[in-house]
Amino acid sequence: MLDNAIYETAQHDNKWIAINISENSNWYVFEIENPGIIKPEIQDKIFEKGFTTKGKDGSGMGLAIVCDLISKFNGKIDFEIKEDSVNPSVKFTVSLPRLLDSDERRLAG
């Protein structure tokens, strides 16, 4: 996700990335926000294996791998688009459960 944020930020004049890591009683929460938008016509495709907006520079595996890993540990991923006319941005939020059952603990190491 961070690699995607860096790539997208490089395409904009206003370069910034906001990262927030927090927790609550049930979740570890990771947020990455950067300038840009995700067009409505591709929003349902961005987690598919092989889908990329980077042309020949992309493999389309990044978000698919992230999504698979999050799913493996019963987490969730979502994104929010801020359609500000001056500074549009995209924020991805990953939430991972704080408590793992014994099988998941074994897989996590």
CATH of the domain at 52: 3.30.565.10
**What is the per-residue pLDDT for 92?**
97
For residue 15, the enclosing domain spans 2-108
List, for residues 58-67, the tens digit of each pLDDT value.
Answer: 788 889 999 9
**What is the per-residue pLDDT for 105?**
58
d(CA 68, CA 97): 15
As a whole number, mean pLDDT of residues 7-20 equals 94
Is pTM beyond 0.85 here?
A: no
As a whole number, mean pLDDT of residues 6-21 equals 94
d(CA 83, CA 40): 12
Find the range with the poorest average confidence among 29-38, 60-69, 78-87, 95-104: 95-104
Count of structural domains, the chain: 1
Report the DSSP pairing between strands 27-35 and 18-23. antiparallel
